[in-house]
Structure 1
Amino acid sequence: MEMPKKQLFGTNGVRGVIGEQMNPELVMKIGMALGSMRKGRIGIGRDTRTSGPALSRAVIAGLLATGCDVVDLGVLPTPAVQYLVREHFDAGAVITASHNPPEYNGVKIIEGDGTEMDDAETIRLEQRLFAEEFTLAEWEEMGILSAAPEMIYEYINAVAGYWNNCDADGMTVVADPGSGPACESTPKVLTQMGCHVFTINGMMDGTFPGRMPEPSPEGLQPLAELVRETGAAFGVAHDGDADRAVFVDETGHYLEENEQFALVERFICSETPGMVVTPVSTSFLAEKIAEETGSTVEYTRVGSISVARRMMALAAEGETVVYGGEGNGGLILPGHQHCRDGAMTAATMVALLKSSGKTLSELRSTLPPHAMLKDKIYTDSPNELLETAKNAFSGDTLDLTDGVRINRKGMWALLRPSGTEPFMRLYVEAETEDEAQAFRDEITKTISL
């Protein structure tokens, strides 16, 4: 029998505009559903959004009502909550809308192993929420609330000490936390590693006055300018909850996220060849670097949950899983934790540059040629569009792991519905820009018929 589909939750949690799809009543019910399923000690964190205090108190109220003890961790990155949940709690929740604009907020549910709740359990939570099947505690068994904002330092120390043989030796770095929760963590991580750190957008502010929570080449121009002015080795910027990191090189040039994935892959797999796990939306650079380093790639559905759980499953089967993540700046280092971690990605870039003795722009120039295009296709009939693509390109090699991936020699394309926003995503990659554009045009003309 086919598993029911998620109705509220998308690829990474549930999100919506405050006062419309998202409100304290819904979040309290999510807390009651979670507390009914995961009795015990629950860790709660949030990002800097203006609606965060209201929603965090709502989820806390729901959890306390079910008899769970709750520890309010305060404002901190999603990966910090995940790390602390794995070390100290039975489950957790983060109030965040990640890269969405400031009027959005949402909830990510964290399991006791630090990973996000998978689809099957999320559907169970949704069913309990819709039916209002909550196991509420009697008055004498209500949960106890405490606060522990200082726990973030355990996470900071773990990230800063991960590359324990790396001494940054005064390397200059510019950090752009984007007014989000990493304002207090990423600069401290880099400083502890021995970096000289400048910051921009380094004050927590849920209105995001400097730039939007989604890092973009346009929005990071001030970061690029500061990198050039300070002579920094690189600039690093986070999304709204700091589970991702993107970079500009020492010249201020934006490092495309798939190139970032490939450079870190080469760094890790050259040291320890093994298995790399990544979604079908990731660049073919992953396979080329894997071949170069004697490693292998396994593809999953899009979403860090799918990647993390596949990494854990393969490791349990005895495979040497050394690296994973997505081509969007969300990297997973399994020796640290099985989730995307922006601060760890920044720390890894320091270690990579110190190990190579080269600049980031020099390292980038060593990657194989590639050109990736990304488009959004708005449609009321995503399933019909996917069927059209499957039929039209049946002569090519198709991968239906997630949406429709069309594979050709030297190029590929992926069509899939967005898990967080109302449109189809189209990714096209080839070795040259002209080839990528021609392939994209062929696809868009075909599916629009």
Structure 2
Amino acid sequence: NPPEYNGIKVVEPDGTEMGDEQSILLEDHIFRGTAYQAAWDHVGREHAAPYMVEDYVRAVAGSFPTGTGGGTLVAADPGCGAAAWTTPEILTRMGCRVFSINSQMDGTFPGRLPEPSPEGLAPLADLVKATGARFGVAHDGDADRAVFIDDKGRFIEENRQFGLIADFICRNRRGVVVTPVSTSRLIEVIAHRHGCSVVYTAVGSIYVARTMIGLSKQGTAVAFGGEGNGGLIFPAHQLCRDGGMTAATMVALLADTSQPLSTLVDALPPFFMMKEKLQEKDAPGLIRRLKDAYRGESLDLTDGIRINREDSWALVRPSGTEPLVRVMVESTSKTGARQFHEELMAHIRQ
């Protein structure tokens, strides 16, 4: 979000983020002035916990063998957000040599917008190429997500980043990978390659995290989770998205190979995705029409409607906050994605 939308994140007692429905209820109480006011003898307490930054850094860096970084050169762009106090230090303790930009904490985000876009990360890409770094890592404002620049200065699309790290995790840990229905099928292909399965959820990290918790309580081994936006969840560490752990895992991944990151990314199976947003006042009616139009196909109704085919899929889901629907189509070829998109749009416009 732009700086003027900077705010707070509410975390539930189980360590997961507060869900959308509860967040909207809380905001409604605040804006209406109807928030519950506790009696004087039941007021909660505020605790300052500056030591938790050190606890977090030590926990992430300590999840890997000493010296895992082995002198690896890394370029980091915390974006003047929360990662300014954590990621460069984590990587340094792992044995990396770190060059950083936008590494001062500043909630006005003077260096770039908090969303780590390819355009906003052009200076980081330049730094990677100028220093010969093995990769560059950047974060959003609250550092629950991480995105990467490869050794050639190319922005790695987040689903492919997810796939690369899923390959590393599933190679060493069997179990379920949990991800939303909006995630690339690349994750499913990679999980199956290593004997792991995939469970799909509604879109949103809270649904991923709580599904992971539910599966674990049932005795199901959970290997990994995350979204195709750079937000990955490492269950052995904590059950919420963690950009610092994602950056550290990339160091460990590259420590296992002499190949450059660009080569590893290029070797991933090809998938091509198209996305768009459409104004739609009657989203439930549209979903019903599509269910009827595609009734003979494999449908997933977890969140909107996802139409699954052998080499492609499409998702149409209503926005939770605006009168519009989000449309996603993915295929193993650009032609396949385009043709499926055209077919789907013909049904939507009817």
Q: Normalization by structure 1: what TM-score?
A: 0.73
Deviation at 1:284, TM superposition (A): 0.7
Deviation at 1:354, TM superposition (A): 0.3
Would you say 1:365 and 2:266 are equivalent positions?
yes
Q: Which residue of 1 aligns with 2:304?
A: 403
1:151 aligned residue (45, 52, 77): 52
Deviation at 1:165, TM superposition (A): 5.2
Would you say 1:375 and 2:276 are equivalent positions?
yes
Deviation at 1:396, TM superposition (A): 2.3
Query: Structure 2 counterpart of 1:201, which letter?
Result: N
CA distance in 2, matches of 1:364, 1:197: 22
> 1:187 touches 1:199 (CA, 8 Å); kept in 2?
yes
Q: Please give the residue correspondences for 1:263-412 in structure 2 after superposition, counting only pairs within 5 Å.
A: 263-412=164-313
Deviation at 1:244, TM superposition (A): 0.5
Would you say 1:255 and 2:156 are equivalent positions?
yes
Deviation at 1:419, TM superposition (A): 4.0
Would you say 1:440 and 2:341 are equivalent positions?
yes
How many residues were matched structurally? Answer: 349
1:226 aligned residue (127, 134, 140): 127
| Further displaced range: 121-130 or 385-394 | 121-130
1:179-221 residue CA offsets vs partner (Å, 9 max, x unmatched): 2121111111111111111112222233323322111112211
Q: Which residue of 2 aligns with 1:137?
A: 39
Would you say 1:413 and 2:318 are equivalent positions?
no
1:81-115 residue CA offsets vs partner (Å, 9 max, x unmatched): xxxxxxxxxxxxxxxxxxx1222134432122211
Query: Structure 2 counterpart of 1:132, which letter?
Result: T
Q: Please give the residue correspondences for 1:56-71 in structure 2 after superposition, counting only pairs within 5 Å.
A: none
Query: Structure 2 counterpart of 1:219, which letter?
Result: G
Q: Please give the residue correspondences for 1:138-217 in structure 2 after superposition, counting only pairs within 5 Å.
A: 138=40, 142-164=43-65, 167-217=68-118
Q: What's the secondary structure of 2:6's corresponding residue?
A: strand
Q: What's the secondary structure of 2:313's corresponding residue?
A: strand
1:213-249 residue CA offsets vs partner (Å, 9 max, x unmatched): 1111122111111101110010111112110011111
Deviation at 1:160, TM superposition (A): 1.2
Deviation at 1:307, TM superposition (A): 0.7
Q: Which residue of 2 aligns with 1:25?
A: none
Query: Structure 2 counterpart of 1:277, which letter?
Result: V
Change (3 A) 1:290 1:105: same
Deviation at 1:283, TM superposition (A): 0.8
CA distance in 1, matches of 2:102, 2:322: 26
Query: Structure 2 counterpart of 1:289, which letter?
Result: I
Would you say 1:114 and 2:15 are equivalent positions?
yes
CA distance in 2, matches of 1:200, 1:420: 35
Q: What's the secondary structure of 1:314's corresponding residue?
A: helix
Query: Structure 2 counterpart of 1:401, which letter?
Result: T
Deviation at 1:405, TM superposition (A): 0.6
CA distance in 2, matches of 1:367, 1:304: 24
Query: Structure 2 counterpart of 1:212, which letter?
Result: L
CA distance in 2, matches of 1:323, 1:221: 30
Query: Structure 1 counterpart of 2:3, which letter?
Result: P
Q: What's the secondary structure of 2:275's corresponding residue?
A: strand
Q: What's the secondary structure of 2:256's corresponding residue?
A: helix
Change (3 A) 1:357 1:126: same
Change (3 A) 1:406 1:227: same
CA distance in 1, matches of 2:158, 2:307: 21
CA distance in 2, matches of 1:323, 1:165: 23
- Could you tell me the percent identity over the aligned residues? 55
Q: Normalization by structure 2: what TM-score?
A: 0.93
Q: Please give the residue correspondences for 1:40-79 in structure 2 after superposition, counting only pairs within 5 Å.
A: none
1:44-68 residue CA offsets vs partner (Å, 9 max, x unmatched): xxxxxxxxxxxxxxxxxxxxxxxxx
Deviation at 1:133, TM superposition (A): 6.1
> 1:166 touches 1:354 (CA, 8 Å); kept in 2?
no
Deviation at 1:127, TM superposition (A): 8.1
> 1:370 touches 1:430 (CA, 8 Å); kept in 2?
yes
> 2:6 touches 2:107 (CA, 8 Å); kept in 1?
no
> 2:136 touches 2:150 (CA, 8 Å); kept in 1?
yes
In structure 2, stretches of 5+ residues that fail to align are none
CA distance in 2, matches of 1:127, 1:209: 31
In structure 1, stretches of 5+ residues that fail to align are 1-99
Change (3 A) 1:146 1:409: closer
CA distance in 2, matches of 1:119, 1:214: 20
Change (3 A) 1:212 1:423: farther
| Further displaced range: 198-207 or 404-413 | 198-207
CA distance in 1, matches of 2:112, 2:269: 32
